[in-house]
Amino acid sequence: MNKFSYVVKNTILNMRRTPLLVFATIIAVLVSSFLVFTTLSARSIVQNNTLRWQNGTHVVVFLDDRVTTTAHKQLQESLESYSEVRTVDYFTKAEAEDEFRALFKDQPDLLSEVDYEKLPSSLRVNLNNPSDYELIIERMDGNPAVKEIRTSGEAIERLLSLTDTLVVSASAFALLVGFAAFILIINTLRLAAYSKKKEIKIMRLVGASSTYIRLPFIFEAIFESLIGTSIAVGLGWGIIEYSKNSIVAESIFDITISDSYLIYLTLVLLLSSIVFGLFASFVGIRKVLND
């Protein structure tokens, strides 16, 4: 029997000694990894969506129908002169109609009932920093050429703030569950090591190296950690794929997340789980093997 098969055989034997603890450990790692994977993915999705909005229109200044071409040009020039403004585009009534028809193409009843004459022309403002939308509102306030001002800035800020809160709370919870997993791995390994105390003593007497004695325990910790993380990552991928086609995704925003980011996240989590297992095994059996 070579050394590798000895280590593998003993890893399996160790795990069979305490199946319930092993199961609990895998579940704890799974929950922790799943929380990390899903919250980081969710944050990326929100960032992708908000980024798209941020690159688009931040403030829409609807113009009064009575406004003259000269007046709207003056207003556009005035907006363009502000340092916070990146670009200003004039949107005619005809373009507003085209946009409306495109947006509600699936609702013919609505399209047939709308009085397109009432759709106003507008100035679409793109800001360098979307959070400056309030400055624009202040400056346009009371201008007779302005009918109404709408902004997406506030919604973006709320969404980003909500996402950040979600990421922080989920990360804290993941950390807590991760710590529980860490304790469980340590206990599982210690139980296995205590039950093999005589065997370990004999191994030391015949000259087996410390690393060789530790390897089955290290393998066990890494294996449990990897299994939990792999299932969590698999579930995470499944949920993202499902969400891409769900009603929620269609009605709120696109589940836009790049495969390269998901692969990166998966690799980081799997690598972390190996480091996690290594560290847990180091802490778990250090004292037992030094006795």
Binding interface with another protein (CB under 8 A): 1-3, 6, 198-199, 201-210, 212
CB crowding 226-247: b at 16 or more within 10 Å, else e: bbbbbbbbeebbebbeebeeee
Could you give the CA distance from residue 280 to residue 291 in angstroms, rounded to a whole number?
Answer: 18
CA dihedral 219, 222, 225, 229 (to 10 degrees): -120
CB of residue 195 vs another protein: minimum separation in angstroms?
A: 10
CB of residue 289 vs another protein: minimum separation in angstroms?
A: 12
Judged by CB, which is closer to another protein: 73, or 204? 204
CB of residue 129 vs another protein: minimum separation in angstroms?
A: 58
Q: How many degrees, rounded to 5, is the angle at CA 60 between CA 54 and CA 63?
A: 165
* First-residue to last-residue Cα distance in the chain: 28
Judged by CB, which is closer to another protein: 203, or 231? 203
CB of residue 207 vs another protein: minimum separation in angstroms?
A: 4
Judged by CB, which is closer to another protein: 158, or 197? 197
CA dihedral 255, 259, 263, 264 (to 10 degrees): -80
Judged by CB, which is closer to another protein: 72, or 196? 196
CA dihedral sign of residues 196, 201, 207, 213: positive
Judged by CB, which is closer to another protein: 3, or 158? 3
CB of residue 194 vs another protein: minimum separation in angstroms?
A: 15
CB of residue 2 vs another protein: minimum separation in angstroms?
A: 6
Judged by CB, which is closer to another protein: 52, or 204? 204
CB of residue 290 vs another protein: minimum separation in angstroms?
A: 10
Judged by CB, which is closer to another protein: 99, or 199? 199
